[in-house]
Structure 1
């Protein structure tokens, strides 16, 4: 419901600076590296990754590549979206193929900052979700309500799914969970 926040933290933090990234309409993917092997998963451990996407992930994230990028880390988890043809409305993004786009990374017990994410994306030759702006949560709501075009879609007339917002300085709630918000365009369609 508009004007009400999903969590009390959002109400308190609504007027601080947040970094906004484009929300990609795909399937949530986790890529885990323990220093020896690469494992692939979805948002939950029970999630099934389509074979055509798993093949792409296995080609991109080999043990040798992960070892070269994460030389000293004991536990790494890359978070991103599998997107493109045959995934959600992904043909608007990539009409004839699927890919992975990075949106987060945890190395050991540390969530990485944006410059570190960009460095990892560069070293692994993978995409990273684009920054759409910086501002308050009410400003982000207004942008999504108006709608905006996806900046990564092949179809230049494709409306973006929404925004993911993180405080400009990493913050956690009382349970130790990161404070991250999302707004989808479809939330405002009546």
Structure 2
């Protein structure tokens, strides 16, 4: 079963930019209907995580065994040498699930970013390639795990989950978000500007129309 990760909307509507060389801009602060709930929820109910610049990857586990590895748009092949590292990551995860007897992960899709040298700008994060978990989908219940469950099971698997960041502004008004984003540095490398943030409701499990949004530096600059 190939299940593409839901398309993530932006926190603000992107409008055509009047600046040369820029296609879009978010500084109007217009709220999108799809992500509007985030603007009206208490900040303490939201989780802010660094948006990692890597390759989107999903690991399908069925009965504790890797049935396929997927990128954003297609399933990888074990016969393709360029995909070999994806399967090394997936097989290691399935071994840990089996060895630790983690029943909750026997039928899931574990989504994450593969980053490191030669993967997007991932060489700015680590010297070696690494898989960083950002979500887990329960195939049996047709729901995503809550954020706290994602971090718990990533820890059980001895994997990083995308790092939480402290949002130090009083609200999600566009001027506050812009100031925060433009000053943001990567948790993994303080010399490297973070790509942006992902904002989600801590207890959201919906398979569609999720209470989740992204906002990137390049949406403002």
Shorter-chain TM-score bucket reads 0.7 to 0.9
Q: Which residue of 2 aligns with 1:143?
A: 180
- Structure 1 unaligned regions, length at least 5: none
Distance 1:36-1:113 versus aligned 2 partners, 3 A rule: closer
- Report the Cα offset of residue 167 of structure 1: 2.1
Q: Does 33-42 or 22-31 show the bigger shift?
A: 33-42
Give the SS at the match of 2:103. Answer: coil
Give the Cα separation in 2 of the matches to 1:124 and 1:171.
21
Give the Cα separation in 2 of the matches to 1:129 and 1:121.
10
**Structure 2 length normalisation: TM-score?**
0.71
Q: How far does the alpha carbon of each residue in 1:17-37 deviate from its partner, in whole angstroms, 9 at most, with x for none? A: 221100000000101111142
State how 1:120-159 maps to structure 2 within 5 Å. 120-133=153-166, 136-138=171-173, 139-144=176-181, 146-153=182-189, 156-159=190-193
Q: Quick check: which has more Rg, 1 or 2?
A: 2
The partner residue of 2:147 within 70, 89, 114 is: 114
- Report the Cα offset of residue 187 of structure 1: 1.2
Distance 1:70-1:150 versus aligned 2 partners, 3 A rule: same
The alignment status of 1:44 with 2:81, answered yes or no, reads no
Give the SS at the match of 1:133. Answer: coil
**Structure 1 length normalisation: TM-score?**
0.81
Give the Cα separation in 2 of the matches to 1:12 and 1:119.
26
Q: Over the residues paired in the alignment, what is the CA RMSD in angstroms?
A: 2.6
Q: How many pairs were matched up? A: 181
Contact 1:29 1:42 in 2 (8 A): yes
Q: How far does the alpha carbon of each residue in 1:31-70 deviate from its partner, in whole angstroms, 9 at most, with x for none? A: 11111421211112257894363254145323x3233353
The partner residue of 2:116 within 44, 69, 84 is: 84
